[in-house]
Amino acid sequence: MSEHNPYGTMHATTIVTVRKGGKVIIAGDGQVSLGQTVIKGNARKVRRIGKDSEVLAGFAGATADAFSLLDRLEKKLEQYPGQLMRAAVELAKDWRTDKYLRNLEAMMLVADKSVSLCITGNGDVLEPEHGVMAIGSGGNYALAAARALVDSDMDAEAIARRAMEIAADICVYTNGNTVVESMDAE
C-alpha cells in the first residue's frame, strides 16, 4: 500500500489478442479492483479507435492513464493514417521521453487489419509470437491458454473467449464479464 492510497494499488484486468484465420480479436474483462475490493465489474477496457474505427485497442492499468494514452494514440493515427506501427512507435517514443507521460501506469494492446502490437511505457512496441499476446494481472494465464489453443480447430474469437474464461478462473483481478472486439485481418 502506498502512503497516498490506503487501499493499495489498482489492479485492472486481463486483455488478450488473437490473430488467426483472417480475424483479429481483442478481448478484455470488466473488473476493476482497488486493493482487495472490486470497485466495478463491467468496465469497458476494449474499444475501437481511430477516424474510421480501424484500430482495436485494449488497455490494462490505471484507467485515467490508459484513456490519456488512447487519446494520444488516436492523435498519432490522425498524423499517420493507416500506419498503426508508425503511430505506435511515435507514441512509445513520446511516452518514454516526455516527463508527464513517463508517469503513466498502463499498457495497451492494439491491432488493425495487418498488425497486432503491445505498447508499453518502457518504449516497447512488440509484435506477438504465434499471433497471440496478453497483458494485465491475468495476462500470463490468458496468454498460456491462448497459446495452447491457437493450433486447435477453434477460431480466433473462441480462443480469446476461452483464454479469458481460464484467466478469470485463476486471477482474482479478472472477472468473466468479457468484451470482445473483432475485425477482418489480412
**Sequence-ordered list of residues with C-beta below 8 angstroms from that of 10, at least 6 positions apart, any chain:** 32, 33, 34, 39, 62, 63
Q: Answer yes or no: are the C-beta atoms of 57 and 112 closer than 8 Å.
A: no
Length of the chain measured in residues = 186
CA–CA separation, 117 and 145 (whole Å): 19
Q: Which of 9, 13, 17, 178 is catalytic?
A: 13
CA angle in degrees (0–180, nearest 5) for 83-181-11: 95
Provide the 8-state DSSP code for 33: E
Question: Of 134, 159, 149, which is closest to residue 14 (Cα–Cα)?
Answer: 134
- Is 118 assigned a ligand-binding role in the annotation? no
Known catalytic residue: 120?
no
Q: Per the annotation, where are the binding residues?
A: 168, 171, 174
Give catalytic residue positions.
13
Q: Per the annotation, where are the binding residues for Na(+)?
A: 168, 171, 174
